[in-house]
């Protein structure tokens, strides 16, 4: 059991350093998560290993060609039965429920775009889900893919040591994300709220709920309305 991520990218070297350390690094060591980065250029057939070409209809920039992406996914398919995800800024917005819906899969095949994006026939041919990490444009899909991998991997059973910390996550059930404190109880004159030292768990729960609700930063679009 576990979840296998196969990433298709022109920069496969970006992935190992990002996931060597920390919770995901340990999950990889323990076999709970597998992560393989594949070089898109290995699936080209020309001397220049070209993965992009000019957009039909004109316009600036280049577009990722369909053939190498589709051939890469076909070669990965035998080992990874999971859905195909394309990282694209116009895709479905990644949130905790999208991450949870992917964490139940046995594997994911993630394609990172570059330039002006990926030829749309890839989405159609592979019945792919397009996912965005937010309404801003990055230079490539690698960092978005890392965000997705991290968010999904920590939901795989056994990856996070204490399952209680998943249950109390922000966005999981009721609002979490209250202010947290650890020792020392006083630092440069700043003290920890008394209630947290009281040992009264009902009052602590109530305080945390109230703080979490207050702490939520409204989305900028909502802010503008008022
Ligand atoms: N001109 C395009 C930008 C393409 S950005 C546009 O206006 O939409 C190049 C690649 O970076 C994309 O194909 C995608 O893989 C990745 N990318 C950039 N921003 C992203 C985001 N917010 N979420 C997911 N992927 C993103």
| Per-residue model confidence (pLDDT) at position 74 | 98
**pLDDT per residue as tens digits for the range 168-181:** 777 766 667 899 99
pLDDT band at 102 (very low <50, low <70, confident <90, very high): very high
Query: What percent of the chain shows pLDDT beyond 90?
Result: 86
Pocket test for ligand 1, best of 55, 89, 143 (most atoms within 8 A of CB): 89
pLDDT of residue 185 exceeding 70: yes
| Per-residue model confidence (pLDDT) at position 226 | 44
Q: How far is the CA of 170 from the centre of ligand 1 (A)?
A: 26
Exactly one of 39, 71, 169, 209 is catalytic; name it. 169
| Per-residue model confidence (pLDDT) at position 165 | 82
pLDDT of residue 122 exceeding 70: yes
Q: Is the pTM of this model over 0.95?
A: no
> HEC states along the chain?
CCEEEEEEECCHHHHHHHCCCHHHHHHHHCCCEEEEEEEHHHHCCCCCCCCEECCCCCCCCCEECHHHHHHHHHHHHCCCCCCEEEEEEEEEECCHHHHHHHHCCCEEEEEECECCCECHHHHHHCCCEEEECCCCCCCECHHHHHHHHHHHHCCCCCCCCCHHHHHCCCCCCCCCCCCCCCCCCEECCEECCHHHHCCCHHHHHHHHHHHHHHHCCCCHHHHHHC
Average pLDDT over residues 67-73: 98
pLDDT band at 217 (very low <50, low <70, confident <90, very high): confident
Nearest CA to ligand 1 atom 6: 116
| Per-residue model confidence (pLDDT) at position 175 | 64
């Amino acid at each position: 059991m576990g979840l296998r991520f196969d990433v298709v990218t022109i920069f496969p070297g970006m992935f190992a350093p990002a996931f060597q350390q920390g919770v995901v690094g340990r999950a990889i060591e323990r076999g709970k998560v597998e992560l393989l980065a594949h070089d898109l250029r290995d699936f080209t057939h020309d001397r220049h290993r070209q993965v992009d070409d000019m957009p039909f209809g004109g316009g600036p920039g280049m577009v990722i060609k369909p053939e190498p992406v589709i051939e890469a996914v076909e070669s990965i398919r035998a080992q990874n039965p999971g859905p195909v995800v394309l990282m694209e800024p116009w895709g479905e917005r990644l949130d905790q429920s999208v991450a949870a819906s992917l964490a139940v899969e046995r594997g994911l095949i993630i394609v990172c775009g570059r330039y002006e994006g990926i030829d749309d026939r890839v989405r159609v041919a592979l019945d792919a889900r397009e996912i965005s990490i937010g309404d801003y444009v990055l230079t490539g899909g690698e960092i978005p893919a890392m965000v997705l991998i991290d968010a999904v991997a920590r939901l795989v059973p056994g990856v996070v040591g204490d399952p209680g910390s998943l249950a109390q996550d922000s966005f999981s059930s009721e609002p979490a994300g209250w202010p947290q404190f650890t020792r020392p109880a006083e630092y440069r004159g700043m003290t920890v709220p008394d209630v947290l030292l009281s040992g009264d768990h009902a009052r602590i729960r109530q305080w945390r709920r109230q703080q979490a609700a207050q702490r939520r930063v409204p989305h900028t679009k909502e802010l503008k309305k008022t």
